């Protein structure tokens, strides 16, 4: 729906135009004196046509607030991706490590004989526990990435 230029403007409309003028000054499109002139004309403006004349030569650009709002989304995605990569690399490192060495204190133990199944079961328990923790970390990281993406999509 097109707004007719002869219709009267509201204070909210003036505020919207003001929000276009200030970033234009920050970007170097307007000088300080020109901003003051346009703000005076802005608050004296009565119609949409008067308001349009104040910003006709300023291109519609993304607002500074819009640009800042994208940064947290990118940060969440980057942190989640890095965490996932670290978790996967940790899982791979744990999976490659297949031997465990237990060295008792030589001053206390003179001779220690353990049956082979005991050592194997103990070793398997350590590896299984480590893999379980690594899997849990990867699972939580994946959930965090999925949640971050859902939040980012819902804010669009």
Cα–Cα distances in angstroms (integers) from residue 99 to residues 56, 91, 120, in the given order = 73, 15, 10
Task: Report which of residues 33 and 63 the model is more confident about.
Answer: 33
Task: Report which of residues 47 and 135 the model is more confident about.
Answer: 47
Mean pLDDT of 10-39: 88
User: How sure is the predictor about 121, in pLDDT bands with cuts at 50, 70 and 90?
Assistant: very low
Q: Is the pLDDT of residue 63 over 50?
A: no
- Structural domain boundaries of the chain? 11-55, 65-154
Mean pLDDT of 57-84: 65
Predicted local distance difference test score (pLDDT) of residue 46: 92
Cβ neighbourhood burial of 71 (10 Å; 0-12, 13-18, 19+): exposed
Mean pLDDT of 133-148: 75
Predicted local distance difference test score (pLDDT) of residue 131: 62
**75-86 residue pLDDT tens:** 777 777 777 787
Cβ neighbours around 126 below 10 Å, total = 13
């Amino acid at each position: 729906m097109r707004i007719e230029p002869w219709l009267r403007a509201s204070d909210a409309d003036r505020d919207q135009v003001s929000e276009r003028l200030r970033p234009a000054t920050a970007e170097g499109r307007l000088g300080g004196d020109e901003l003051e002139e346009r703000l005076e004309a802005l608050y004296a403006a009565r119609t949409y046509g008067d308001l349009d004349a104040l910003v006709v030569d300023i291109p519609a650009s993304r607002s500074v607030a819009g640009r800042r709002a994208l940064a947290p989304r990118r940060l969440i995605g980057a942190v989640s991706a890095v965490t996932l990569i670290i978790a996967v690399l940790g899982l791979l490192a744990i999976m490659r490590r297949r031997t465990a060495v237990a060295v008792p204190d030589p001053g206390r133990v003179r001779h220690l004989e353990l049956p082979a199944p005991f050592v194997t079961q103990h070793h398997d328990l350590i590896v299984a526990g480590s893999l379980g923790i690594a899997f849990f970390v990867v699972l939580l990281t994946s959930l965090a990435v999925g949640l971050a993406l859902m939040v980012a999509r819902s804010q669009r």
